[in-house]
Amino acid sequence: MTSKERAKALVAQMTLPEKLSQLTHEAAAVERLGVPEYNWWNEALHGYARSGVATIFPQAIGMAASFDTILMKQVGDAISTEARAKYNEYKKFGKTKIYQGLTCWSPNINIFRDPRWGRGHETYGEDPYLTSELGVAFVEGMQYGYEENPKFRKVDATLKHYAAHSGPEKGRHAFDSIVNEKDLRETYLAAFKYIIEKARPAAIMGAYNRVNGEPACGSKRLLQDILFGEWAYDGYVVSDCGAICDINAFHKLTKNEAESAALAVNNGCYMNCGSAFKYLKVAVAEGLVSEETITKACEKLFEARFDLGMFDETEYDSIPYSKVDCPEHRALALEMSRSCTVLLKNNGILPLKQDDSLKNIAVIGPNADALTVLLGNYSGTPSEYTTPLYGIRNAARKYGKEVRYALGCKHTSAGGDNGSIEEALIAAKYADVVVLCLGLNPQLEGEEGDAYNSDLGGDKPGLALPKVQTDLFDMIKAVGKPVIVVNVSGSAIDLRFADEQADAVLQCFYPGQDGGKALAEIIFGEVEPTAKLPVTFYASDDQLPEYTDYSLKGRTYRYMTEKPLYPFGYGIGYNKYEVSNVTCDATVGVNGATVTCDIENLGDRDGADVVQVYIGHKNKPEAPIYQLIAFDKVWLKAGEKKSVTFDIPVDRFMLYNNDGELLLEDSDAVIYVGTCSPVKDELCKTVDISIRS
């Protein structure tokens, strides 16, 4: 029997109360049918989360900076291996509690449309195509790993939050995202559609907000018409936690929880994280939802449990607990940390000299020795970790160099243990170079309820660092020593002060358990920086549109007309890489096009760069100014040249019109190929093409 048939047969034996008991994240046991209690809520954003020791990879925005789908799939596979290893032990207790199961509510594929959004660091950045490709890799790694034709899913991956969800955090339970059809399809739904088509994710999580007046977790348009209708999605939908109660409590669209629950289930949201579905019995009694619909919902959820092999012997039962936090996964986490540290400026100070010309290093700042900034949010607990201070100290010891540490200031205030500015100035005075670790932490930017900046519910007020940190920079800079700024944050920051005055600038996106080791390896030249920005670093708050406006006009590299500080796709290395010999079919039709180029490592070190392909449509003012349509991370030995070929399908040359229709229209366009978005036009080569329907 198929899992669908088995689910149907099992549910047919259940009473209505038993079926209703299965539709919440705390699914009850049905002992007479051999069904154990199961908690559906689990997190695995960048490691098996909130369930004790696990390997903790860089936060999602950091992994996006790798532009590396191969590495991303390996990470997904490692996380799901640890999930299975833990589940194999947890289920021996007869039931699984919260954060112990196989249904993982990750990844977050919302578009980071505005850098003030507190949860943006959970995403893969601002670009729909980059998000799509990284999401496919992660979901494939999570659900199937590298098994050939697996009988069961390894875990369930869940795409969230569907849809048009990217702030504001404060008031998200009542917020209505007003989105035109073009932006909805082109930006907010694009990654959901792509990943569903390519990777078959088991689940979708609905968002808290409304979209054009409809609650996301009870939207006929989003769920019935688009997800299950147009896209023929065959998985299940789970609500965000408490989101269905929001429909009546905050959106004021229904009178009570029974009506809210009925609205959600009738439109295909079959799993409730929260308490609203406790009122489904009332909803059935009042004729708001049929028992047939309840049965259908229950069958879909048991189908998922059968697909995971919860009632069978599986190929994953033999995964031992020793795979949790194992050496191979720690090595993979370190490799990903190396790949997510972006070098933004370097006047030649980096890599630090390993000879006796540099003897003393001062490591200063609130993020120099902070565990929280390694982990981001939705994380587990690493058994070992390396902060920037200890990474630099351990590396320096190999080269016979001394490291002095001073806190300098806290994130938002002066003072604290070992935190006086005097001590920081003394450390800088006796140093040959200063590594100044500034930035934010997950308490300053995050989800409503998690972050402590309660006035904004986790969102940032703007792009500036807290003044105490820029003051610290000014005072350290005045000492007269070279200063390397390491900004650790999950989002874009106004780094004009560092770009103008520091000798080097590095961006770390909450870099995981060994982020400090990876940073030190890059600073000392043991590892070549290869990461690229998955978001635009704006020059100032003045370049940002109104935060609550969901129009893409003026947002992200795709639609902004002003010059940013650091553009999307930007990041430099110690080598210089050159793209040449760019070709593309002169006419693009229904078969798409092939783009080719050469990339050469002109340096004397082995390394990598990301070849990026963009399209810009001429005489199409409604189109994105630029749009990423292909990329590939290419590894090159010193002096090596390689040819790269991209076979690009026709849909990436098509445009959405104002009615949300994707069309291939006759037009002229430019193909840009380089190592950054075309905002840095000196880093791109161009080819003119014609698009013909």
SS3 359: coil
Considering the candidates 68, 156, 246, 445, report the single residue annotated as catalytic.
Answer: 445
Q: For residue 374, give every residue at least 6 positions away whose Cβ sits within 8 Å of its Cβ, in sequence order, or none.
A: 56, 382, 385, 386, 387, 510, 511, 512, 513, 515, 516
* DSSP code at position 101: S
Phi, psi of 301 (to 5 degrees): -70, -40
Residue whose C-alpha is closest to residue 385's, from 333, 435, 311, 342: 333
Residue whose C-alpha is closest to residue 23's, from 255, 236, 308: 236
Please check whether residue 536 is in contact with residue 557, taking contact to mean a CB–CB distance below 8 angstroms: yes
Q: Which two tokens stand for residue 400?
A: 């016979």
Q: For residue 353, give every residue at least 6 positions away whose Cβ sits within 8 Å of its Cβ, in sequence order, or none.
A: none
Q: Which two tokens stand for residue 545?
A: 């549109």
Distance CA 580, CA 597 (A): 6
SS3 424: helix
Instruction: Name the amino acid, one letter, at 395.
Output: A
Phi, psi of 378 (to 5 degrees): 50, 55
Distance CA 488, CA 366 (A): 10
528 is catalytic: no
- Helix runs in 596-648, H state only: none
Instruction: Name the amino acid, one letter, at 11.
Output: V
Full 3-state SS string of 12-62: CCCCHHHHHCCCECEECCEHHHCECCEECCCCCCCCCCCCCECCCCCCHHH
Please check whether residue 678 is in contact with residue 684, taking contact to mean a CB–CB distance below 8 angstroms: yes
- The radius of gyration of the chain from alpha carbons, rounded to an integer in Å, stands at 25
Instruction: Name the amino acid, one letter, at 96.
Output: T
Q: For residue 493, give every residue at least 6 positions away whose Cβ sits within 8 Å of its Cβ, in sequence order, or none.
A: 439, 440, 463, 464, 465, 487, 537
Q: Which two tokens stand for residue 508?
A: 């770390």
C-alpha 64: how far from chain center? 6
Distance CA 652, CA 463 (A): 32
C-alpha 312: how far from chain center? 33
> For residues 215-229, b (16+ Cβ closer than 10 Å) or e, as one string?
bbbbbebbbeebbbe
Helix orientation angle between 327-338 and 515-523, rounded to the nearest 10 degrees: 50
Compute the Cα dihedral for 441, 138, 448, 555 and give only its sign: positive
Distance CA 529, CA 504 (A): 13
Question: What strands lie across the sheet with 269-271, from one edge to the other?
Answer: 103-104, 156-162, 203-206, 236-238, 269-271
Considering the candidates 183, 240, 303, 494, report the single residue annotated as catalytic.
Answer: 240
Helix orientation angle between 69-90 and 128-144, rounded to the nearest 10 degrees: 40
Distance CA 13, CA 62 (A): 48
240 is catalytic: yes
Q: Would you call 138 exposed, middle or buried from its count of C-beta atoms within 10 A (0-12, 13-18, 19+)?
A: buried
Other Cβ atoms less than 10 A from the Cβ of 526: the count is 15
Residues classed as catalytic: 240, 445
